[in-house]
Amino acid sequence: MIACRRSAISVSTKSDAQAADQAHREELRHIEEIPEHQCAELREVFAAKGFEGETLDRIVKTIAEDPELWAKTITQEEFGLQPGDTGQPLQSGAATFAAFVLVGAIPLIPFAIPVLSLDQAFIASIAATSLAFLGVGITKGWALDQSRFRSGLETLLTGGGAAVLAYGAGFLLRTWLGTGAVA
């Protein structure tokens, strides 16, 4: 039961904090409304960690004496969330920015290679970007312990679709405005 209710990995620190706080409030409400069930969940969590007998009883009794600690423990153990923890937004933002710049540069790199014609650079850009989408998806699948093939293909199709739409919008705008050459 516990494994089925684990939260998914989120990219947003703020969303994680909000989800954790919401789960914490929900657990506090459950403790008040159905304490027997919540006590059984607490017991299940620590029994799964290998505690048994008198030691398990003491752990459950000690934690259950403090509803705030009880809710926080269940939120952490059952959902993998940290109530009140906003993580490290500056580091998270810096990492996201760095990844954005790094991966965002991939489609531009072929155009900086002087020996490639514009058409060759365009095709190389599509190939490099497709490989990047595939790589990001495979990495995501690995990180989430999901099918790497499916995750890679999904990210490739999503990113590729977005790229086609962006290219199409640019093409239409250039045609509509009548400026510049169209590749």
What are the sequence ranges of the domains in the chain? 3-79, 89-177
Crossing angle of helices 67-79 and 35-48, in 10° steps, is 50
Higher pLDDT, 83 or 93: 93
Residue 17 CA to residue 151 CA, distance in Å, equals: 26
pLDDT averaged over every residue in the chain: 84
Please report the pLDDT score of residue 125 as a whole number: 96
Residue 92 has pLDDT above 80, yes or no: no
Q: Are 143 and 9 in contact (CB under 8 A)?
A: yes
Residue 128 has pLDDT above 90, yes or no: yes
Please report the pLDDT score of residue 180 as a whole number: 60
**Mean pLDDT computed over 153-180:** 90
Please report the pLDDT score of residue 91 as a whole number: 79
Residue 81 CA to residue 116 CA, distance in Å, equals: 50
Any idea how long the chain is? 183
**Residue for token pair 């009140």:** 84
For CA atoms 151, 161, 11, 14, the dihedral sign is: negative
Within 8 A by CB and 6+ apart from 37, the residues are 30
Question: Phi and psi (nearest 5°) for 17?
Answer: -65, -40
Enumerate the H helices of 34-117 as residue ranges.
35-48, 53-64, 67-79, 89-105
Query: What is the amino acid identity at position 149?
Result: F
Residue 25 has pLDDT above 80, yes or no: yes
Please report the pLDDT score of residue 1 as a whole number: 33
Q: Locate 116 and state its tokens.
A: 């490639």
Query: What is the amino acid identity at position 107?
Result: P
At 77, is the pLDDT very low, low, confident or very high (cuts 50, 70, 90)?
confident
